[in-house]
């Protein structure tokens, strides 16, 4: 089918699109490359718009908007949705997302962005939420419930967008039988609140027999999230601190204020909670889609893979964990060294947070069935990380 890739109300390019597969077979004309997805600009050649890298990466980008193949219990979700592959979902609502403003407009159609976007228009999410989050649902989702931004959610965790009092919230569960991730998100929010770090506010909720984290959408209909991965895509890879320094420079050159401090805050949080999954797609910047101006570093989000979730043991507390630092996997004790001024952190603001976390875990113990021993060991681990940071600050 012939369609136009749109960025809100701006026409980006005219293309032939293979419905159901998420593949672009031919690019007919490029109208405005500046308004294209940021990652595509480095592949664009004005005199050869169908060069293989550009067209292939356009298809990869679009398919990447869909639910990934590594989503927890994807086969069960697809059965409940009544579809064969996640790429089928991209056609149900023109590829619309709550992370940006891109969508596919059928050629010669009169439809407008203001008629269909999910920031202004409500959507039916109840069936999709049950299909995604419930352990025992036998629901087969109706077609109307497939026209939602849930079609364009990434990541491995089961999740669903919902609407409460006009606000769009994302619910996320734990991975497989692990129940700690939602609590880690709330812990991260509490630490950020106390230390004054800009972040997405997470709270806890329950859906039937599942504890989930809940956060508001931090994008609106005039903005988009551009991830670090997209920004770094056309830059030389060094596999050392140069990658970090070049990223900071790009942000500063594009007018982002206090970029270094804000990125440092993210790594300070990661040190405190031992977040192992700070990959390049879960931090970035916010851009105005109308003016293309870079507005700010994205608030800190996606902090669930922390406190030894992948290799928890009832028998010991493992404190020598490793985190992600751009293309490297490094000990947290090494990553924290990139922070230029730890003295600015008032570590006393975290006084009592271990007890607060202990209380939080015990409040939900009747649902999570988390043992007293595990709660104790998690609190020991958190306390050790806080004390390690305190010692680093005192020894400067």
- The pair phi, psi for residue 331, each rounded to 5°, is -60, 145
Return the pLDDT at 23.
92
Q: Is pLDDT at 286 greater than 80 in this prediction?
A: yes
Return the pLDDT at 49.
84
Q: Is pLDDT at 110 greater than 90 in this prediction?
A: yes
Mean pLDDT, rounded, for 38-45: 92
Averaged confidence pLDDT in the chain: 93
Domains and CATH numbers, the chain: 2-172 (no CATH), 223-394 (1.10.1070.20)
Return the pLDDT at 86.
87
Mean pLDDT, rounded, for 307-320: 68
Element (H, E) at 51: none
Would you tell me how many other CB atoms lie within 10 Å of the CB of residue 76?
A: 15
Return the pLDDT at 140.
73
Strand order in the sheet with 23-30: 23-30, 10-18, 2-7, 102-106
Would you tell me how many other CB atoms lie within 10 Å of the CB of residue 128?
A: 27
| DSSP code at position 298 | P
The per-residue pLDDT for range 170-208, each reduced to its tens digit, is 999 988 778 899 999 999 999 999 999 999 999 999 988
H helices, E strands: number in the chain: 12, 13
What radius of gyration, in Å, describes the C-alpha atoms of the chain?
Answer: 22
Residue 301 is encoded by which pair of tokens? 């989000």
Per the model's pLDDT, the better-predicted residue between 40 and 140 turns out to be 40
Q: Is pLDDT at 19 greater than 90 in this prediction?
A: no
Strand intervals (E) in 190-308: 203-207, 210-216, 223-227, 284-288, 294-297
Mean pLDDT, rounded, for 98-104: 97
Q: Is pLDDT at 311 greater than 90 in this prediction?
A: no
Q: Is pLDDT at 165 greater than 90 in this prediction?
A: yes
Return the pLDDT at 319.
66
CB 171 within 8 A of CB 214: yes
Return the pLDDT at 223.
98
Percent pLDDT > 90 in the chain is 76
Gap between the Cα atoms of 277 and 263, Å rounded? 15
Q: Is pLDDT at 142 greater than 90 in this prediction?
A: no
Name the most confidently modeled range: 39-53, 141-155, 169-183, 218-232.
Answer: 218-232
pLDDT level of residue 22 (50, 70, 90 thresholds): confident
Mean pLDDT, rounded, for 146-166: 93
Mean pLDDT, rounded, for 264-293: 97
pLDDT level of residue 21 (50, 70, 90 thresholds): confident
Return the pLDDT at 134.
82
Return the pLDDT at 316.
64
Mean pLDDT, rounded, for 114-129: 93
Mean pLDDT, rounded, for 84-110: 93
Q: Strands 223-227, 210-216: parallel, antiparallel or unpaired by DSSP?
A: unpaired
Range scoring the smallest mean pLDDT among 159-163, 259-263, 315-319: 315-319
Gap between the Cα atoms of 212 and 206, Å rounded? 6
Return the pLDDT at 272.
98
Return the pLDDT at 375.
93
Residue 351 is encoded by which pair of tokens? 């006084």
């Amino acid at each position: 089918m012939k369609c136009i890739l749109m960025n809100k109300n701006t026409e980006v390019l005219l293309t032939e699109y293979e419905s159901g597969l998420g593949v672009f077979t031919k690019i007919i004309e490029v109208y405005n490359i500046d308004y294209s997805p940021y990652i595509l600009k480095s592949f664009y050649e004005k005199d050869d718009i169908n060069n293989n890298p550009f067209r292939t990466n356009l298809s990869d980008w679009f398919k990447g908007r869909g639910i990934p193949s590594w989503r927890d219990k994807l086969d069960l979700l697809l059965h409940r949705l009544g579809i064969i592959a996640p790429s089928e979902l991209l056609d149900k609502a023109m590829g619309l997302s709550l992370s940006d403003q891109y969508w596919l407009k059928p050629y010669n159609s009169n439809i407008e962005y203001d008629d269909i976007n999910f920031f202004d228009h409500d959507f039916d999410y109840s069936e999709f939420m049950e299909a995604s989050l419930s352990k025992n649902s036998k629901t087969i989702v109706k077609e109307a419930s497939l026209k939602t931004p849930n079609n364009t959610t990434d990541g491995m965790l089961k999740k669903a967008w919902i609407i409460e009092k006009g606000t769009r919230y994302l619910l996320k569960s734990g991975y497989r039988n692990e129940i700690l991730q939602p609590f880690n998100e709330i812990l991260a929010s509490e630490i950020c609140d106390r230390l004054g770090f800009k972040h997405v506010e997470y709270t806890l909720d329950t859906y039937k027999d599942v504890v989930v984290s809940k956060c508001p959408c931090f994008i609106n209909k005039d903005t988009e999230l551009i991830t670090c991965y997209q920004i770094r895509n056309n830059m030389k890879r060094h596999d050392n601190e140069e990658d970090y320094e070049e990223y900071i420079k790009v942000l500063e050159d594009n007018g982002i204020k206090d970029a270094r401090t804000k990125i440092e805050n993210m790594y300070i949080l990661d040190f405190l909670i031992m977040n192992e999954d700070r990959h390049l797609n879960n931090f970035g910047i916010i851009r105005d889609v109308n003016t293309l101006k870079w507005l700010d570093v994205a608030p800190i989000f996606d902090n669930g893979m922390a406190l030894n979730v992948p290799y928890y043991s009832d028998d010991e507390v493992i404190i020598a964990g490793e985190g992600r630092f751009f293309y490297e996997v490094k000990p947290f004790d090494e990553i924290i060294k990139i922070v230029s001024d730890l003295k600015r952190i008032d570590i006393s603001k975290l006084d009592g947070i271990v007890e607060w976390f202990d209380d939080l875990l015990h409040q939900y113990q009747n649902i999570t069935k988390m043992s007293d021993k595990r709660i104790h060991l998690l609190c020991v681990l958190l306390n050790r990380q806080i004390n390690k940071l305190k010692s680093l600050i005192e020894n400067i």
